[in-house]
Amino acid sequence: MVTVFLIVFGLCLGSFVNACVWRLHEQTGTTSQKKLRELSISKGRSQCPECRHQLAAKDLVPLFSWISLRGRCRYCKNPISWQYPLVELVGATVLVVSYIWWPHGAPGSILEGSIFSIWALVVTGFLTLSVYDIRWYILPDKVILPLTVLGSILIGLIAIQQHSGDILVGSAIGAITIFGLFYTIYQVSGGKWIGGGDVKLAILLGLLAGGFMQALLLLFLASSLATGYAVILSLSGKKKLNRKLHIPFGPFLIAATVIVVLFGTDILDWYTHLVISV
């Protein structure tokens, strides 16, 4: 029952992310107050990005609208990007996986329920950042800053739940580790090897990682995922593998963070046992 709810809820979050990303991007190009009101995330109505036709409720059912319309807009028949159903599916998957493997106790009490709800919001923000970075190679401050506040509240609540000040110390160390490293790389390379957005995002990711070893694991996973992706791109012949290959790093950092939050302790335990038994 909970799983079904989370799937539906995750699909809706994904759908919200799709609308958010498009509106955020459209907002940056306009100064007209009327247009900004139309594009308001809380008030504006959803419209087709191609023909700008306002979408009816039946067009906004996540996943099913896209499938029943065979990936085309009902009004102008232009194809709708597969990004839309994909983001919805990813949203649902991450929520269900988070629920099954949530490391901070089943959301039974109000405190635990709040912690999991805030995590769902963080996941929504993460998805928004990832899609934005993939499409436009930018991680917007408008998302990073509130998300960092949200992440700090999440860590604070987990510390209260576990009656442990060590969690706060670990998070601070994680944040300093990743931010320090990224900031140094940014300064040394003059912003060529890593984007300014990644540096700003580093604080949130380090906070969530929650420790020095977890931060290293996060960086290792993110680089491995990004390298794997670059190799696949070059093998498929779409892009040449060279130093000019520009891929957004944000989504890999974010994916690695989600893995570390959910499975970090298990992975590090497994690794420690491996080293000891060798």
Applying the rule CB under 5 A, the residues between 41 and 60 that interact with Zn ion are: 48, 50-51
Q: Which residues contact 162 (CB under 8 A, 6 or more apart)?
A: 104
Binding mask 68-107 for Zn ion (x = CB under 5 A): -----x-xx-------------------------------
The distance of closest approach from Cβ of residue 18 to Zn ion in the complex, given in angstroms and rounded to an integer, is 14
According to the binding rule CB under 5 A, does residue 169 interact with Zn ion? Answer: no
The distance of closest approach from Cβ of residue 73 to Zn ion in the complex, given in angstroms and rounded to an integer, is 3
Of 50 and 112, which has the nearer Cβ to Zn ion?
Answer: 50
Alpha-helical (H) ranges within 190-244 are 196-209, 212-235
The distance of closest approach from Cβ of residue 84 to Zn ion in the complex, given in angstroms and rounded to an integer, is 13
Q: Rounded distance, CA 48 to CA 141, Å?
A: 26
73: left (phi over 0), alpha (psi -120 to 50) or beta: beta
Closest CA to 218 of 160, 251, 178: 178
- Residue type at position 33: Q
Closest CA to 144 of 172, 169, 180, 179: 179
The distance of closest approach from Cβ of residue 53 to Zn ion in the complex, given in angstroms and rounded to an integer, is 5
Which residues of this protein are in contact with Zn ion, per CB under 5 A?
48, 50-51, 73, 75-76
